[in-house]
Chains A and B, each alone.
Chain A
């Protein structure tokens, strides 16, 4: 193999390494105000024959477990504990703060129960709204005495508080500047949310129908319908999960309101855990490690094989095969072969060559890390062969350098 070929192959390896490294780094080095990386949207968007396999990697992929009232309550309790722990890292909550937080937790749970189970929820909510409106009417009536006005102001504030509590927003819905129209919209929205159970039931029905449909995927129109159903399901899932997560956001806001300025140094609470934490971690750091390995020629062959495995997964998650719809975001047109496949074949070719010894730290690693380790391992198993094993790495390295 001539020198030019070697240089080209090493450049190929470094380029692929850089691609991996940059992808990896961009996944874990997000700015504080950005959402952390999650592989969930990618897996959810998987298409083709392995769709279920890839989506199966997401825990609770349809969100059904998180949409139960009990699990929302459990999540509130978890959040409650997390808040106490979060601030205790800087300055623990005082007893007064703790009891206020506890009251908020109780309010949130009560509101949850009322919205989900109380058939009279809506009528009681509109009663409160009527009280509020009556008070507002009195306030714009110039003929009222100051005392009457003060009483009306008090009634208005009480009605507002009651509405905020009822709709499950005791901490964030206490704003003087909210107009009557804004509050009315909040009430309307709470009405929508009170149909939560019904909507979850509808969602389950639709999930079941889509599942059945996959067996009938022959005619083009069925696949079209399936795709539109899937989009509808994804939208409904997002909406329902947002309602389920709302009490946690509220609790977080309540805690921030309670915290004093020293406690605020703890910073904001971490967002809700992703449904793919382990996978996210593995993806971000795996890509980074492979990238470093390929660039610096450390464990080059292992890194190359691992890179090929990653690329195989990316290829299969959205394969450009006949009958598989095109992914919604694609920068080119592919049939059978796409860039993932090409990069995978290239990296497999690299795995078959000792490029880490042409240019890289592999010889050094072998001499100082893997060699001694291997010797020690073999030494404990078979003492007599130790001397022979000791001389091997140098020979191996020398032989490859000569090739």
Chain B
């Protein structure tokens, strides 16, 4: 979405004012002591005892992001696993820059089963191709490890449910890496959604992730040359024994996102994050009738969609354009699109209310715009409200601005999701990860049902039992 410099400034000011107002209200009623930032947002604090020993399984892009985000005070990576020499080498470099010379004693396993056999590993981070999430996570929990699994939770809804069942049976934590659950940006945006007098009634949310993977329309781009998912195969990876690990070809291993057996396409890779965010927003709006009661997750009632592989000719088995419409309770409609041939809109979520618009863009900016204000969309009510009698001192207000808001820019949430799980391992009985298996199951049902709807070209009505861990039913098997 393209905004002028002035619009951006106004949108930011509006957001900041509204947030400050809600914080003042919160702090006026809250305890006197100021919590730490992570305690304030996510309910955990500094870890006591030694850092949790972690095995990292899969060191591609996401695995490396996990290394870069790791906080050595909370987690100590003691082993990692990958079958591609290129990823192994990248991991070595990242680990060295994270842990220094200590990193040289970190053991590398080509076969992740061997890593899981190590007794000292307490927690594993799984960032493997999608089809391996369930088998690896279940085996890890059976071998006594807590699991942080990358999103999407698993390839099928039944797989997801079996993961949750394994977690319940073994008593291990299962967290799934939908990092928006740990994003300061989204947490702050959620506070705005909560304020009825800023956004008003919400009947429509539009989410999108538009990328241009054609090199700007260069001839020959149909072969995938400019698509980040169509990776070139590194020289050193050409000797990998892919068949030994169940891959049909080297291409399927390196470009697993493009194949039906190993990946799930745009909906799984991009859409699931954004539908997750939409779910968080709508649960806030529609989920609790009683404002004091904890909110219940809200799921769509039905969906329909269109998907096509209309540009690329590289033999990919996933769509390059997808368009979906979700029908939520109270006639609230969410649309989602992800395309590969134009990036004018870039990516974000627009919450379109009767009084205002909340725009979260590129996971780093958040704006609020007022409705029915043709000349200046600045929200003047916020300034007025701040003048109301609120029992907070100036210094507290300072903290709100200094500690609360700048954090919207700092972290995408990888670090916090790792830290929280590590903290829970050291402080058992203090709750569950914010994106536990049960929560992630909901995201997986919506995502995987979207793929079914597009591929079978039909409107799908969600069934209650799809979201029920006890039932084997899912959108794939009716």
Please determine whether chains A and B interact with each other in the same assembly: yes
A33 in contact with B219 (CB, 8 Å): no
Chain A interface, >50% SS class = loop
Minimal beta-carbon separation of A175 from chain B (angstroms) = 11
If A33-B97, A267-B101 touch, whether A261 touches B88 (CB-CB below 8 Å) is: yes
Q: Are B101 and A149 in contact (CB under 8 A)?
A: no
Total A-B residue contacts, Cβ distance less than 8 Å: 42
Whether B23 is near chain A, meaning CB under 8 Å from some CB there, is no
Residues of A within 8 A of B104 (CB): 265-267
Whether A225 is near chain B, meaning CB under 8 Å from some CB there, is no
Proximity bits, B232-244, A CB within 8 Å = 1, else 0: 1000100000000
Shortest Cβ distance from A140 into B: residue: B218
Mark contacts of A162-199 with chain B using CB atoms, 8 A cut-off: 1 yes-contact digit, 0 otherwise: 00000000000000100000000000000000000000
B100 at the binding interface (Cβ < 8 Å): yes
CB of A224 closer than 8 Å to a CB of B: no
**Residues of B56-115 contacting chain A, CB below 8 A:** 85, 88-89, 92-93, 96-97, 100-101, 103-104, 108
Are B220 and A268 touching (Cβ within 8 A)? no
Q: Are A32 and B100 in contact (CB under 8 A)?
A: yes
Residues of A within 8 A of B108 (CB): 261-262
**B384 to nearest A CB, angstroms?**
47
B93 surroundings in chain A (CB, below 8 A):
256, 264
Kindly report which residue of chain A lies nearest to residue B91, judged by CB atoms. Answer: A261
Shortest CB-to-CB span from A226 to chain B, Å, is 42
Residues A261 and B100 in contact in the complex (CB < 8 Å), given A139-B218, A139-B219, A149-B220: no
Task: Say yes or no for A144: interface residue by CB 8 A criterion.
Answer: yes
Judging by beta carbons under 8 Å apart, are B219 and A141 in contact? yes
Inter-chain contact A32/B101, CB cutoff 8 Å: yes
Q: How far is the CB of B61 from chain A (nearest CB, A)?
A: 15
C-alpha spacing A32/B92, complex, angstroms: 14
Given A260-B85, A261-B89, A32 contacting B218 (CB threshold 8 A): no
Of residues 222 through 273 on chain A, the ones whose CB sits less than 8 Å from some CB of chain B are 256, 259-262, 264-268
Q: Tell me the minimal C-beta distance from B261 to chain A in angstroms.
A: 27
Residue of A nearest to B218 (CB): A140
Central interface residue in B96, B101, B103, B219, by most chain A CB within 10 Å: B219
Q: Which chain B positions have C-beta within 8 A of A212? A: none
Partner of A264, one of B92, B100, B220, B232: B92
Say yes or no for A120: interface residue by CB 8 A criterion: no
Contact, CB under 8 Å: B220 / A261: no
* Chain B residues within 8 Å of A140, by CB: 218-219
A149 to B, closest residue via Cβ: B220
Question: What is the CB-to-nearest-CB distance from B215 to chain A, in angstroms, rounded to a whole number?
Answer: 9
B89 proximity list for chain A (CB < 8 A): 259-261, 264
Q: Report the bound CA distance from A140 to B219 in whole Å.
A: 6
CA A259 to CA B85, docked complex, whole Å:
10
Distance (Å) between the CB of B216 and the closest chain A CB? 9
* Interface of B toward A, CB cutoff 8 Å: 85, 88-89, 92-93, 96-97, 100-101, 103-104, 108, 218-220, 232, 236
